Copies of this chain bind each other. A is one copy, B any other.
């Protein structure tokens, strides 16, 4: 094992990272610093502190941070400005949290003089890439320990045995069962992978979903929300201004109640294989729809199309862990520039799993001009005759080509007749 002085561990307080904590101490004989983040995953964090203390971590080496506001304001919202969707469906709920954790790991490493970071992501997934690319970009000489790529505790049984042998408290849920899925949650979403889901032809069990009611059990009456945007970011719901993370939490609560935001898909991991995942993103699903709605009246057509053309690339960068890369930042500059004029409100209707935009307006930035668009008499605002020339010139290259073809065909025919 390499020479490691002090390691900052991304520590959830759960079984896996507790085993890693112990394993790092034993195998690297190094000081361990734990970092536990509140990203809105909806779990108590103080138990993580207690457990870390039990495992011998010094109080000054335990970091527990509430990152909810930063997460939504500086990561989730900028991403939604781009209408980012990976592979047509996935709202990047896990992907967007990792760069913030990477940033904080590095900050704590700097503060504590650590030379190494460690995390509990497997060697088969995207998260290792997201953690490590972020860390390397921000602190190029940091060392990384990814225990799942190194150790031999590759099955749950071995992990539990190691835990018991080392006196690591195992919660009931692990002994008795608990969720069989590999899950990840933060303010943007909760995800499920593994077990039963590893067969993409098998349907997910209803009992798996945690954040949303089944659409069948959602209220029988639709609910409408007025969402207000400023420079592309949500700033108020039904007239009530809140902080970024409060807004998202509120959308999650309302969306979850209406069964909004479930997704079951097969995605392509950056490390090369396909994987099946299920996601609940109630607030994000609403936000994306609404953001497109406000953009639809505020953005110039060609700017909107440019954004659409670049979106899959931007989404792939985030999915693959390149948040801190110069190319993602470069694209963000473009995207943010386009959002200056994205101001106004959108009315959203939620009902039994579906979200729809029913109206929208912008007092300051609407490009909708009803005097031009109308089918009624427009008093000369638009000269319909212009369209003739517009079409004629747009058709010209095709007409030239077809005429050339016809001329040649005629000539060939003439030539073949003469023979």
Chain A residues at the B interface, C-beta cutoff of 8 Å:
83, 87-89, 122-124, 128-129, 132-133, 136-141, 146, 148-150, 154-155, 182, 193-195, 198-204, 215-216, 220-222, 262-268, 271-276, 292-293, 296-297, 300-306, 308-309, 312-313, 316, 322, 324-327, 330-331, 333-334, 337-338, 347, 351-354, 356-361, 364, 366-370, 372-377, 382-404, 406, 408
Contacts and interface: CB of A to CB of B under 8 A. Distances in A.
Contact of A367 (B150, B193, B400): B400
A125 B83 CA distance: 27
Given A367-B397, A367-B400, A384 B304 contact: no
Contact of A272 (B124, B202, B393): B393
B391 A387 contact: no
A352 to B, nearest CB: 4
A271 to B, nearest CB: 5
A133 B389 contact: no
Contacts of A124: 372-373, 375, 382, 384, 387
A309 to B, nearest CB: 5
Nearest to A407: B369
Which residue, of A266, A313, A360, has the highest number of chain B Cβ atoms within 10 A? Answer: A266
Nearest to A224: B203
B136 A368 contact: no
Contacts of A388: 123, 146, 149, 386, 389
Contacts of A356: 262-264, 353
Contacts of A385: 123, 149-150, 389
Contact of A327 (B306, B312, B326, B408): B306
Given A360-B201, A397-B268, A404-B367, A123 B384 contact: yes
A321 B275 CA distance: 25
A327 B303 contact: yes
A200 B373 CA distance: 11
5 contacts: A87-B296, A124-B387, A139-B402, A351-B353, A387-B393
Given A264-B356, A266-B296, A273-B369, 4 more contacts: A149-B384, A202-B359, A203-B358, A273-B396
B271 A296 contact: no
A66 to B, nearest CB: 28
B387 A129 contact: yes
Contact of A88 (B83, B141, B322): B83
Given A264-B358, A330-B338, A387-B128, A274 B199 contact: no
Given A306-B330, A360-B266, A393-B271, A215 B354 contact: yes
Nearest to A89: B292
Given A268-B397, A324-B398, A334-B331, A274 B354 contact: no
Nearest to A182: B375
Nearest to A220: B216
Contact of A198 (B268, B361, B374): B374
Contacts of A368: 200, 266, 274, 276
